[in-house]
Amino acid sequence: MSSQFLVQAEGDEVTALGSTYRAKTDGAHVAMAYSAMEEEFWGDTTPLHSHTDAEEAFYVLSGRLEVWVEGQAATAAAGAFIVVPRGAVHGLRRLSSEPVRMLTLVSPPGFEQFFTEVAEQGEEQLLAEPDRLLALARKYGTEIIGDYPAPSSEDA
């Protein structure tokens, strides 16, 4: 067991697909139980997607967003804790004018490497070749289902 109990306050930073991520642990300090990232979600939406091999959780630090999980949408603001079970189709839509800041946990770790690889391969190139992006997502246990649902007329 490691005697280290305080992990570096600022980890590696990567920006890809509408968010900036600051790694807190890649799992190495917690027996590969989870990864933790500070996420700044500044994009409008994420696509609907599912993680075949991982649970995902978000603790909202600031801002407002809508979370869509398995056909149900809910609004979350600072203090909300969102748990997305393994395999559940989900996505996020930013509701606030400022970015949404969250602590994002993934268990087991690994999916966070998807964003690093997107940045390394070039986001614009991958978006121009959707089949490559879909294959890369599958490499990290993620199935991209489609676009986030359009807001209802009640939301407009």
Mean pLDDT, residues 66-75 taken together? 96
Instruction: Decide: 74 and 92 in contact? Cβ < 8 Å.
Output: no
Tens digits of residue pLDDT in 102-142: 999 999 998 888 999 999 999 999 999 999 999 999 999 99
Q: Could you give the angle at the alpha carbon of 148 between the alpha carbons of 72 and 55, nearest 5°?
A: 65
Whole-structure pTM value: 0.87
* CATH superfamily membership of 14-110: Jelly Rolls (2.60.120.10)
Amino acid at the residue 48: L
pLDDT at 152: 64
The per-residue pLDDT for 1 is 44
Rounded CA-CA distance 65/76 in Å is: 5
Residue 3 has pLDDT above 50, yes or no: no
Residue from 29, 37, 35 nearest 13 by CA: 37
Gyration radius of the chain over CA positions: 15
